[in-house]
Amino acid sequence: MRVPALIFLMITLLSPAIAWADDSVAINKLISEIDAAAKTDKSRMLSIITINTDVASTTLEREKARTGFTLGEVYVAHSIALAARKSFDQVAAMKAEGHTWGKVAQNNKVSLRGATASIKELMRSKKSE
């Protein structure tokens, strides 16, 4: 009886860690995809990010220049900020402290799975137009 209880306990304890690790991989992949798409058509990516975050493209550009983030990182920072009900600057400060994007999301108890799916869908739909 002890072995099944131990297995259940391990699964219960490790599942959130595995989920956060998966989020970290997904976040990094999303950032890379946005940055690659921005190299091809920056104005299109700014439009998509504006649609998803409701932040003006001029503001996104200023934040990118001010923080040194890539466009993908600016999107991720806004997505975390929206989900955590924090400001962009609060999230950017966490990243500036040396945290990974996955850790920033985890610290704010945020998963970007929905945000990742929605922006990827917009990226796909714009390609097919």
pLDDT for the residue 13? 41
| Weakest-pLDDT range from 1-5, 15-19, 25-29, 112-116 | 15-19
**Is the model's pLDDT at 12 over the cut of 50?**
no
Domain ranges of the chain: 21-128
pTM (predicted TM-score): 0.76
The structure tokens listed for 25 are: 């991989």
**Is the model's pLDDT at 116 over the cut of 70?**
no
The structure tokens listed for 11 are: 């699964």
For 73-108, how does the pLDDT look when each residue is reduced to its tens digit (9 = 90+)? Answer: 999 999 999 999 999 999 999 999 999 999 999 999
